[in-house]
Amino acid sequence: MAKQRPKVLHMDDDPDHQALVRAALSHYGDYDVVCAGDGLEGLAMARAEDPDVILMDLMMPELDGLSVMARMQADNDLRGIPVVFLTARALHTDIERGMAAGARAYVTKPFDALRLAERLADILNGPAELAAAI
């Protein structure tokens, strides 16, 4: 039986950025990428799609990334899904807030596609305590 590709849910309101991430993960890995355009849609898709990992922007309409993360942490079905913030918010305080909210990693835009794919592979294949900002 063929190994199933890891499913990545990418929450970002910018369709161009969604396409960029999809292309990057296709080029540097074998991921099944599904996209949500805002936090509310992302929460619904997280329940419906059962992703292996979530890439999430901090700044989204309807519900921002930290609010999505808080709802996920309060939901037994979503709490265990690893989250990587992928955002332009690059201040040290932003990174601290993202990691304190429960993110496994914090990646700033613009991002290096190979390093993002490697970070996802580490999270999917490595120990739960892996967490770093790149």
Tell me the per-residue pLDDT of 28-63, one tens digit each, with 9 for 90 and over.
Answer: 988 999 999 999 999 999 999 999 999 999 999 999
Contact 79, 46 (CB under 8 A): no
Token pair for 69: 């993360």
Work out the angle between the directed axes of helices 113-125 and 15-28 (0-180°, nearest 10): 70
> Could you tell me which residues come within 8 angstroms of residue 133 by beta carbon, excluding any fewer than 6 positions away?
95, 99, 105, 106, 107, 108
pLDDT per residue as tens digits for the range 66-101: 999 999 999 999 999 999 999 999 999 999 999 999
Is CATH 3.40.50.2300 what the domain over 7-133 is classified as, yes or no? yes
This prediction's pTM: 0.90
| Domain range list for the chain | 7-133
Confidence tier at 2 by pLDDT (50, 70, 90): low
91: Cβ contacts below 8 Å, ≥ 6 apart:
none
Q: Rounded CA gap, 9 and 51, in Å?
A: 6
